[in-house]
Amino acid sequence: MQIIKTIAELRKTLKPFAKEDKVIGLVPTMGALHAGHGALIKASVKDCDVTVVSVFLNPIQFGRNEDLDKYPKRLEADAKLAKSLGADFVFAPSVDEMYPDGDPLTLVRDESLEKLYCGAYRPGHFRGVLTVVSKLFLISGANKAYFGEKDYQQVFLIEKMVKPRPPSRPASGALSASGTLS
């Protein structure tokens, strides 16, 4: 099992698997892995040819008065657990690697839902989650992703984000398809 810390290295490492049409599974986490994460890793290992566990503490999904600095950081222990469960790679980028210009230049959001649920009292939380998950999908090229049911609100938004929508022809006559990540 290999720990990868850069986007370029992860893409380079996964490219041969994608060329061989191997199924790549992604288990996005913020680290501090526990039994729930373990079940997701096991499911990915069972279903996929390659399993990538991301360990990234995403600052843009935390609000000003939230405890980002107190969140546990245990990369060695997380990597050891991921390896014991059969993961092939741990992707552990720095904040600078994920957001090289500081704040992300592009944000993913769902305006219709971001003021509902915990989004109502955690402004920007869902935008931060959707942005980082979108980036992780694009970086890894994963075919499948595994999310815990504990974070139902986030899973609901992510499913909505990736749900294919039929092409539509706006009044301008241009053909567009929205809502797809691939």
Q: What is the pLDDT of residues 53-112, one digit of tens each?
A: 999 998 878 777 677 888 889 999 999 999 999 999 999 999 999 999 887 767 777 666
Residue in 151, 131, 155, 133 with CA at minimum distance from that of residue 142: 133
The per-residue pLDDT for range 101-143, each reduced to its tens digit, is 887 767 777 666 667 666 565 666 677 888 899 999 999 999 9
CA–chain centroid gap for 162, Å, is 12
Backbone φ, ψ for residue 31 (5° rounding): 90, -165
Residue 158 binned pLDDT confidence (cut-offs 50, 70, 90): confident
Tell if the pTM clears 0.85, that is, is over it: no
Q: Which of 37, 125, 127, 135 is catalytic?
A: 37
State yes or no: is 125 an active-site residue: no
Q: What residues pair up with 51 in beta bridges, in sequence order?
A: 25
Produce one character per residue of 153-178: b if its CB has 16 or more CB atoms within 10 Å, e if not.
bbeebbeebeeeeeeeeeeeeeeeee
Rg, Å, the chain Cα set: 17
- Sorted by where each starts, the structural domains of the chain and their CATH numbers stand as 2-162 (3.40.50.620)
> What is the pLDDT at residue 179?
44
